[in-house]
């Protein structure tokens, strides 16, 4: 098992891509921290991993709140002793609220950036000291093609926040390379998850996304596992 003896923190690990990756990590021998804001999803994810013979704990985490993230990192160390991998997956896409720039409400912009960028940075801020003490590790930030080419019309906050993930990833990769901390961005196409369910419910939007994918279908969470 490739990750035997490793400890992985997966934010947003209770459902969708986060859960698929967390379960795959556990199958490869990692001990997993499910950092998830939804209690039911987090508990169910841990139970599923344990039922499959893996090791996992649930830590309720609001990635937009520094105190919550700090507590999660401390709990990971208290329970498993260290952290080797941070999979920065937690994000929001406020379908029906996101809009074109002049129509976008400030609170929608703030919520999107608080989770998608502030949250990603906070998790790195509190986990990197553990990786430094460990002598290295890996951080994977989940980005999106929409950060480069835009999304369906009217997703100003989401698309621009995902664009910011690229910049933050590049800076962190350069800053910590000599510390043996690898920082990469994983860029999945359209994936069927609870986050995208409402977006894909519009037939025209779904058709446009499918037509843009060479495989001719919407991806499944398990499709990203080999990349993580």
Is 25 tagged catalytic?
no
* pLDDT on residue 147: 83
Of these residues, 87, 113, 158, 176, which one is catalytic? 158
Domains of the chain and CATH, by start: 7-227 (3.40.50.720)
pLDDT per residue rounded down to tens, the chain (228 residues)? 799 999 999 999 999 989 999 999 999 999 999 999 999 999 999 999 999 999 999 999 999 999 999 999 999 999 999 999 999 999 998 988 999 999 999 999 999 999 999 999 999 999 999 999 999 999 999 998 888 877 667 889 999 999 999 999 999 999 999 999 999 999 876 666 666 656 656 666 666 566 566 666 665 667 666 665
Enumerate residues 6+ apart whose C-beta is below 8 A from 24: 225, 228
* pLDDT on residue 213: 63
SS3 (DSSP) at 189: coil
- Tokens representing residue 184 in the block: 């990469």
* pLDDT on residue 198: 61
Contact of 51 with 19, CB cutoff 8 Å: no
Contact of 177 with 121, CB cutoff 8 Å: no
- Tokens representing residue 3 in the block: 């990750």
């Amino acid at each position: 098992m490739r990750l035997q003896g490793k400890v992985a923190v997966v934010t947003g690990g209770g459902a969708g891509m986060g859960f698929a990756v967390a379960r795959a990590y556990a199958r490869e021998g990692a001990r997993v921290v499910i950092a998830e804001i939804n209690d039911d999803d987090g508990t169910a994810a841990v139970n599923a991993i344990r039922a499959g013979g893996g090791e996992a704990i649930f830590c309720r985490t609001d990635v937009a709140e520094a105190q919550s993230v700090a507590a999660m990192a401390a709990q990971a160390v208290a329970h498993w002793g260290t952290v080797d991998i941070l999979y920065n997956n937690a994000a929001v896409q406020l379908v029906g609220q996101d809009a074109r720039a002049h129509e976008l409400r400030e609170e929608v912009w703030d919520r999107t950036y608080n989770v998608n960028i502030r949250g990603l940075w906070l998790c790195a801020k509190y986990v990197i000291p553990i990786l430094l003490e460990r002598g290295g590790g890996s951080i994977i930030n989940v980005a999106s093609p929409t950060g480069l080419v835009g999304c369906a019309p009217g997703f100003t906050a989401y698309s621009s926040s995902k664009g910011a993930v690229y910049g933050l990833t590049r800076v962190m990769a350069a800053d910590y390379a000599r510390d043996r901390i690898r920082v990469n961005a994983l860029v999945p196409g359209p994936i069927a998850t609870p986050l995208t369910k409402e977006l894909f419910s519009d037939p025209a939007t779904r058709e446009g996304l499918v037509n843009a994918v060479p495989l001719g279908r919407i991806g499944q969470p398990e499709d990203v596992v080999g990349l993580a």
